[in-house]
């Protein structure tokens, strides 16, 4: 038995476990950022095994703090001990409405019109987003009539479709809309939410360091090819820190 164990150990030494790298995204963000992220990672480490995770922002932050994720595109959550963040972009919020809703016929929705409708919150899975929405409502002088709190962003869209209410979500969710809902821009001063690249300060991965150094390149390539180039004002785009 001891000989067999020794033999297995020797073979393991000869064929070390393939190194891995875990990158996380908010659900739907991978449609925008994954392709260019993979290109950069493959150029830096062609043989690396890359794992993709899609979770809520608080879950991604927990994964970073626990060392289960190397880097993630997420929000700047409040409870993030030991994490660092690089700013990527500001995403405008858009209104998500039932496809047959009267406001869906408008090219852009007025805040005052939303005040008359039932609001679907996503505070449980997106506390940073809810804070942005609350600040926006106070700024434009409306009170949101919250009747439901969704467990997931996709659940929020399903509630929009089934209840006739609305929700406010970042622009990227247009990549994950269900058929029974539509997205409409907001009129006036549009609220925005920051998208960050997060990582643990204690993570010593050389690949992580090289990936972070190419964050500006990642942003530029996504802007050239993705939806942000058509939807964000030049003032919404800033260099990473």
Looking at the DSSP bridge assignments, the partners of residue 90 are 194
Looking at the DSSP bridge assignments, the partners of residue 54 are 25
* Claim to verify: residue 79 and residue 121 sit in the same structural domain: no
Task: Provide the mean pLDDT of the chain.
Answer: 86
* Claim to verify: residue 99 and residue 171 sit in the same structural domain: yes
Highest mean pLDDT among 53-67, 163-177, 227-241: 53-67
* Claim to verify: residue 31 and residue 109 sit in the same structural domain: no
Q: Which of 186, 27, 30, 28 is CA-nearest to residue 96?
A: 186
Residues sharing a CB contact under 8 Å with residue 129, sequence separation 6 or more, in sequence order: 75, 122, 123, 168, 169, 170, 193
Residue 30 has pLDDT above 60, yes or no: yes
What is this structure's pTM? 0.82
Residue 241 in any domain: the answer is no
CATH of the domain at 118: 3.40.190.10
Scored b (16 or more CB within 10 A) or e, 10-44 reads: eeeeeeeeeeebbbbbbbbbbebbbebbeebbeeb
User: Per-residue pLDDT tens for 169-179?
Assistant: 999 888 788 89
- What token pair was written down for 41? 């990672």
Residue 199 has pLDDT above 90, yes or no: yes
pLDDT tier for residue 154 given thresholds of 50, 70 and 90: confident
Residue 27 in any domain: the answer is yes
* Claim to verify: residue 180 and residue 113 sit in the same structural domain: yes
pLDDT average, residue stretch 159-170:
94
Q: Which of 105, 134, 107, 103 is CA-nearest to residue 116?
A: 103
User: Per-residue pLDDT tens for 57-69?
Assistant: 999 999 999 999 9
Residue 110 in any domain: the answer is yes
Quote the pLDDT of residue 151: 83
pLDDT tier for residue 228 given thresholds of 50, 70 and 90: low
Domain span including residue 73 = 2-88+195-236
* Claim to verify: residue 178 and residue 207 sit in the same structural domain: no
* Claim to verify: residue 30 and residue 14 sit in the same structural domain: yes
97 neighbors 91 (Cβ within 8 angstroms): no
* Claim to verify: residue 132 and residue 217 sit in the same structural domain: no
In angstroms, the Cα distances linking 156 to 30, 105, 130, 150 are: 19, 21, 13, 5
User: Per-residue pLDDT tens for 92-149?
Assistant: 999 999 999 999 999 999 999 999 999 999 888 899 999 999 999 999 999 999 888 8
């Amino acid at each position: 038995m001891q000989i067999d164990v020794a033999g297995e150990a020797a073979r393991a030494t000869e064929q070390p476990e393939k190194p891995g790298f875990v990158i996380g995204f908010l659900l739907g963000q991978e449609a925008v950022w994954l392709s260019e992220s993979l290109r950069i990672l493959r150029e830096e480490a062609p043989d690396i095994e890359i794992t993709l995770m899609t979770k809520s922002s608080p879950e991604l932050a927990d994964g970073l703090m626990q060392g289960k994720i190397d880097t993630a595109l997420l929000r700047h959550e409040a409870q993030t001990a030991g994490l660092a963040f690089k700013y990527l972009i500001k995403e405008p919020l858009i209104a998500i409405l039932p496809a047959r809703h009267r406001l869906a016929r408008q090219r852009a929705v007025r805040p005052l019109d939303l005040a008359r409708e039932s609001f679907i919150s996503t505070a449980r899975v997106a506390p940073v987003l809810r804070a942005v929405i609350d600040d926006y409502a106070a700024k434009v002088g409306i009170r949101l009539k919250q009747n439901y709190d969704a467990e997931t962003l996709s659940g929020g869209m399903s509630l929009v479709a089934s209840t006739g209410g609305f929700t406010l979500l970042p622009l990227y969710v247009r990549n994950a809309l269900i058929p029974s809902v539509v997205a409409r821009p907001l009129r006036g001063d549009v609220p925005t939410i920051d998208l960050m690249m997060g990582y643990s300060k204690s993570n010593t991965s050389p690949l992580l360091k090289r990936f972070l150094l190419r964050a500006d390149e990642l942003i530029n390539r996504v802007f050239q090819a993705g939806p942000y180039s058509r939807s964000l004002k030049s003032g919404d785009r800033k260099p990473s820190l």
